[in-house]
């Protein structure tokens, strides 16, 4: 046997061993991810895919059964019923043929249960699409970690909304997040302990629309736990995917995008759907949410191509032009663990050193005006990074597009009343740390010059 033949054999053995180790590691990793995606305990009811005529109620039970939801307009008379499509431990029941803007009480259980209604188990259906109803949304950013800050921010915002309540209306209409809902790896059990349990009192009454963050993407739980409208069940144009979609709430069209795993190119599936959806929109207000901020100088840096593997660049360069062309009013993101909120901006698609004065449509620090009553192309957009609803991190906080930057824990409350939108960042001590507004239909408002 020649020396070279022996050498070749040894190399072949070593390569074979290496391949085996890689396969074993891959299988172990897959098993680890799969295990982390499973949760066998109880999960109290939460509300999904709200619309003017339907609501999905989900919950989880330690045992398998065919779930039943009984509901009615009075807690004493739950005279309607819907049943799970199949038996299991994770239940998903969609109530349909409901009346818009109506309060319903509900109880969940199995065939063997008594179905006693509890006065705290209720929800209110969305108003008719386009209805001029005052609307309030609570936005939590990167909330999924149990900290003293998480508790303070939650209690402070709920107390503020209670004090500043709307007569004969619940204190809010929907909960949205900007992603990273369960640290550190999006395990199903982390969702339970760090998201569902801390916010259960809200989740039982108000639909939640969570954004897909990079930490959520580390396991397979997120899309198992939450239900999203792929067929325009809650408004907008069908996207055919749970990763990006839109929905309506009265006068507001929400566009939910995925900056984590979907194609972020200008001619990708998400961008093409986005153009169609925004073109079809007739509602006066448009708010878009995704996880990676196009502008931030917080715990992430939107000027770095390495940071988050260029996702912030992709969203800024490829997606923002579509949003601004269609007159999106407000863009909410997270990922950076602080609060940053821009001036009324237009057409800034480069790094922060390329920001020109004409890209800031108003130098006012707080209150902005737009000319069109509905969505006017390139009339300006406000960008807010809300990423500190559980903890705040360090960062330079000096992006020149921002009118307000702060290293404070808090959450955002957005109120839409007719032609005015107000955003308030409520800190952990209950103070309004930032307040901005957008008023529409102001003839004298400055319009951007981008693409004109």
171 binds Fe ion (CB under 5 A): no
User: How far apart are the C-alpha atoms of 399 and 383, rounded to whole Å?
Assistant: 12
The piece of 145-153, 205-213, 374-382, 430-438 that touches Fe ion (CB under 5 A) is 205-213
First vs last Cα of the chain: how many Å apart?
77
CB of 260 to Fe ion, least distance (A): 9
Residue given tokens 């999924």 in the structure block:
144
CB of 310 to Fe ion, least distance (A): 14
CB of 142 to Fe ion, least distance (A): 6
The piece of 30-38, 172-180, 323-331, 363-371 that touches Fe ion (CB under 5 A) is 172-180
Read off the tokens for 254: 């929400």
The piece of 93-101, 209-217, 313-321, 324-332 that touches Fe ion (CB under 5 A) is 209-217
180 binds Fe ion (CB under 5 A): yes
> What number of chain residues touch Fe ion (CB under 5 A)?
4
Q: Within a 10 A sphere around the Cβ of 353, how many other Cβ atoms?
A: 7
The piece of 208-216, 221-229, 363-371, 396-404 that touches Fe ion (CB under 5 A) is 208-216
3-state secondary structure of 320: helix
What string of DSSP letters covers 7-39? HHHHHHHHHHHHHHHHHHHHHHHHHHHHHHT--
Residues forming beta bridges with residue 246, ordered by sequence position: 255
C-alpha distances in angstroms, 443 versus 71, 240, 440?
48, 39, 9
CB of 190 to Fe ion, least distance (A): 14
Q: Report the candidate in 310, 332, 320, 314 with the shortest Cα–Cα distance to residue 387.
A: 332
Residue sitting closest to Fe ion (CB): 335
Cβ closer to Fe ion: 105 or 212? 212
Q: Within a 10 A sphere around the Cβ of 452, how many other Cβ atoms?
A: 8
Strand 208-209 versus strand 330-333 pairing type? unpaired
User: How far apart are the C-alpha atoms of 298 and 57, rounded to whole Å?
Assistant: 37
CB of 202 to Fe ion, least distance (A): 22
258 binds Fe ion (CB under 5 A): no
Per the rule left: phi > 0, alpha: psi between -120 and 50, beta: everything else, 116 is beta
CB of 180 to Fe ion, least distance (A): 4
Exactly one of 177, 214, 299, 336 binds Fe ion (CB under 5 A); that residue is 214
Contact 289, 252 (CB under 8 A): no
Exactly one of 45, 141, 186, 213 binds Fe ion (CB under 5 A); that residue is 213
The piece of 25-33, 82-90, 179-187, 400-408 that touches Fe ion (CB under 5 A) is 179-187
The piece of 91-99, 156-164, 174-182, 256-264 that touches Fe ion (CB under 5 A) is 174-182
Read off the tokens for 140: 């939590």
Instruction: Determine the length of the chain.
Output: 452
Contact 436, 368 (CB under 8 A): yes
CB of 316 to Fe ion, least distance (A): 16
Cβ closer to Fe ion: 84 or 180? 180
Cis-peptide, bond into residue 97, ω within 30° of zero: no
User: How far apart are the C-alpha atoms of 257 and 323, rounded to whole Å?
Assistant: 11
CB of 215 to Fe ion, least distance (A): 6
The interface with Fe ion within residues 319-358 (CB under 5 A) comprises 335
**Contact mark string toward Fe ion, 286..325, x via CB under 5 A:** ----------------------------------------
Cβ closer to Fe ion: 239 or 388? 388
- Residues contributing to the site for Fe ion (CB under 5 A): 180, 213-214, 335
């Amino acid at each position: 046997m020649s020396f070279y033949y022996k050498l070749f054999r040894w190399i072949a053995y070593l390569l074979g061993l290496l391949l085996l180790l890689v396969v074993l590691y891959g299988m172990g990793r897959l098993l680890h991810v799969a295990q982390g995606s499973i949760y066998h305990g109880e999960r109290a009811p939460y509300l999904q895919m709200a619309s003017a005529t339907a609501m999905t109620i989900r919950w989880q039970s330690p045992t398998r059964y065919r779930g039943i939801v009984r509901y009615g307009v009075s807690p004493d008379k739950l005279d309607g019923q819907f049943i799970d499509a199949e038996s299991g431990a994770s239940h998903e029941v969609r109530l349909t043929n409901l009346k818009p803007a109506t309060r319903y009480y509900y109880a969940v259980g199995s065939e063997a249960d008594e179905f006693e209604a509890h006065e705290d188990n209720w929800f209110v259906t969305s108003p008719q699409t386009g209805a001029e109803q005052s609307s309030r949304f609570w936005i939590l950013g990167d909330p999924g970690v149990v900290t003293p800050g998480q508790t303070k921010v939650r209690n402070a915002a709920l107390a503020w909304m209670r004090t500043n309540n709307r007569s004969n209306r619940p204190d809010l209409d929907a909960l949205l997040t900007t992603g990273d809902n369960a640290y550190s790896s999006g395990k199903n059990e982390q969702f339970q302990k760090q998201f569902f349990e801390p916010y259960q009192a809200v989740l039982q009454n108000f639909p939640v629309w969570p954004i897909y963050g990079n930490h959520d993407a580390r396991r397979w739980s997120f899309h198992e736990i939450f239900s999203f409208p792929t067929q325009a069940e809650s408004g907008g144009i069908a996207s055919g995917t749970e990763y990006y979609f839109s929905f309506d709430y009265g006068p507001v069209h929400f566009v939910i995008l995925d900056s984590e795993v979907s194609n972020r190119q200008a001619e990708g599936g998400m961008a093409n759907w986005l153009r169609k959806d925004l073109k079809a929109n007739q509602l006066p207000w448009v708010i878009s949410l995704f996880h990676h901020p196009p502008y931030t100088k917080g715990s992430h840096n939107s000027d770095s191509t390495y940071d988050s593997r260029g996702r912030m660049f992709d969203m800024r360069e490829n997606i923002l032009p579509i949003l601004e062309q269609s007159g999106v009013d407000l863009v909410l993101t997270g990922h950076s663990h602080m609060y940053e909120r821009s001036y009324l901006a237009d057409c800034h698609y480069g790094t922060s050193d390329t920001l020109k004065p004409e890209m800031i449509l108003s130098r006012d620090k707080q209150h902005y005006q737009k000319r069109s009553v509905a969505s006017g192309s390139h009339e300006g957009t406000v960008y807010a990074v809300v990423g500190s609803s559980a903890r705040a991190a360090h960062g330079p906080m000096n992006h020149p597009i921002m009118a307000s930057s702060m290293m404070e824990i808090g959450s955002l409350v957005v109120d839409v009343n007719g032609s005015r939108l107000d955003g308030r960042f409520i800190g952990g001590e209950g103070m309004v740390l930032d307040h901005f507004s957008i008023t529409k239909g102001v003839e004298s408002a400055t319009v951007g010059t981008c693409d004109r």
